[in-house]
Amino acid sequence: ELVAYQVTNTLSVRVRDVDKTGEILDKAVSLGVNQGGGIAFTNDNPAATVTEARKKAVADATAKARTLAEAAGVSLGRVLEITDQNIRPAPMPINAKAFDAA
């Protein structure tokens, strides 16, 4: 004798226009979706984005070093070392209760 059962169906959706996310979620709910999760924001071309970030990081570090050298009354020399750390932190999930408290 069957007492109870549970069925789970998982669907992954990629949305390129973030402005349409609300509309898509509304439609999903109207179709009976009652659970969601695992939302991730990604980039279709991460290599280009990382390259641009590296260029900006070097420019920022150079500007800071120049400011510090001027403040110390010395001249800025050549770059001696550059370290690139490939750290990609994942977005932190937000607790819905935090919104209620705000």
pLDDT digits (tens, 9 = 90+) for 46-92: 899 999 999 999 999 999 999 999 999 999 999 999 999 877 777 67
| End-to-end alpha carbon distance in the chain | 48
Model confidence at 2: pLDDT above 90? no
pLDDT tier for residue 29 given thresholds of 50, 70 and 90: confident
Say yes or no to pLDDT of 16 above 80.
Answer: yes
The SS3 of residue 10 is coil
Q: What is the pLDDT of residue 25?
A: 87
The residues, ordered by sequence, that sit 6+ positions from 91 with a Cβ below 8 Å of its Cβ are 40, 41
Q: What is the pTM of this model?
A: 0.53
Q: Are 7 and 57 in contact (CB under 8 A)?
A: no
Distances (CA, A) of 29 to 7, 22, 34, 80, 100: 17, 11, 6, 56, 21
- Residue 60 phi/psi, 5° resolution? -65, -45
How far from chain centre, in Å, is Cα 20? 18
> Among 71, 88, 69, 70, which Cα is nearest to 79's?
69
